[in-house]
Structure 1
Amino acid sequence: MINKKTIITLGLFLTICASLCVYADEGSDVGTFEELASIVSGDDKTGEIVLTKNFVNTDGYDASGIKITGHDMVIKGEPGKDITIDAKSAGRIFNANGTKNVRFENIRFVNGNAEGAGGAVILGNELSNKVVNCTFEGCSASEFGGALDGNAENSVFKNCNSTHHGGAIFDGYATNCEFEKCFSTSQGGAISYHNASNCTFTNCYAWWQGGALYHADAVGCKFINCYAAEGGSMYEGSAFDCQFENSVAKNGSGGAAYNVVASGCKFTGCSVTGGEGSAMYGGSATNCEMGADEAVNVTMK
């Protein structure tokens, strides 16, 4: 028999669950940014918010993005659904700068376009903020981080770009991520600043320095067909247990890496045009695989 105390306890439990997990109203199949903002914005927002439908910026929402001011929250796409948020190149999607413990999960971000940093999402430099299992496609920023200003795990970045630093990510770490055809018209075709671990960079490029990474550290990463004027895949930083395939410096030195500290790396088919060091220029190399004449001004250890 269920007694009165059990019923009261169950009621309290359900109330707590409701306060921690909020589901977006099903309504129509596609929502507006105004509707999305009403679901996720507010200082009182906390816990888990599950999005059950797609959202499109058809209402001319503020180009700086939907402001996230709550803390300790997860905004996620409903499991089993391909939840897409499309900014239609009209602005940023989310601005969570200044928050703590904010996480985005299982969301596809499309056509974010921001003035400044973070074309789709800006998380700031708070380490507890991150995106997980997300996809960014066709996002751009006028300055830094074509897709994201912040940290990413198990996510995919395709065709994202920036004018200055980090075609995909600026000032963050990336773990178990994939980058494809991301570029910067200046430095860091995929990432500028901080680090990447167990990531793959394919066909990423920068017009100036670091086809994939600029001023960043890489561990267990793979670089395929990346290029830049200098440092076809990396420009300054460190690389441990990484593979570089067909990296090219098109108008300078360091076919794969320029002024990089490398250890346990393998260089295959890398080249330069108009410069020196088809694999590496500057920096140091420890237990790396490359041709004897493929490193110039490199300290071999």
Structure 2
Amino acid sequence: MAMLTHLAGLAPRAAMSLATKHRGDPMAAVLPAAESRMDDIVADPAHLTAYRRLTGYRVTSYLPITYPHLASMRLGLRLMMSRPFPFTAMGMLHFGDEITELRQIPAGQRFSIRVRADNLAAHRRGVTFDLLNDATVDGETVWTQRSTFLYRVKQPPPDAAPPAAAPGESVTLSDFEALWRVPADAGRRYAEVSGDYNPIHLYPATARIYGMKRPIVHGMWSVARCVAALESRAGEAPRRLSARFRAPVSLPAKDVALCTRRADAGWEFALIAQRGQRHYLSGSMVSLGEAS
């Protein structure tokens, strides 16, 4: 049995060692066909409680929709650390995420996770690729995720297609819901729970290695925080969510506004800087009772 618990991902020293890897020309990259898999996973109750406290999810008898990402992310890191993988994992930017929960996973349920890489594409800032993840219970797929990552290059391809419209991109400060303060240690606290010790999330000194003045919070913490707030408001668990990361939340942040709008099906949401109106992320969510 694989217990999903604290610090089961990369150790900080191992994560830092990846910062020096070089994988050649990213424009000529070929993603490996291999997949990464873990079976018989079950959430440690103390770890699940810590995750809920950090993200704001209410206590239920089921896993939060974003919780299996902690296992898929660790498997994704393992895949990206493998020798055939063409890009270095550290410093890579999480660009977007889509999650569908086909059936809620009980908190004590054992499940399996499989991760593979696909869909390499040119982007105006470099190249993107997807980690395609699925969770199964007794052979039945109950949860799927597509995590899109951006690997930046100095000379992006001139023929890159323009990005598709982001979900929730029309949400503005006029749809104000709540104002949050994100402390300076938010990246380190989420790293302790998630195992994701990418240096861009930890300290100013480690973030500067990748050209950032300050560390940034993990994108999936931001998504989970938004979804947890909407779940509490809707009173129902989400069935589908989609998010696009539009700008990093630099730490500390004192004026992060959650803005929400009712959509034809579910909700649209955004995280926006109250001063300057910079959009950090936008997304959409369909709850259990509204999913077709």
Q: Considering the TM-score relative to the shorter chain, is it more than 0.5?
A: no
Greater gyration radius: 1
Looking at secondary structure, tell me which structure has more helix per residue. 2
Normalising by structure 2, we get a TM-score of 0.25
Normalising by structure 1, we get a TM-score of 0.24
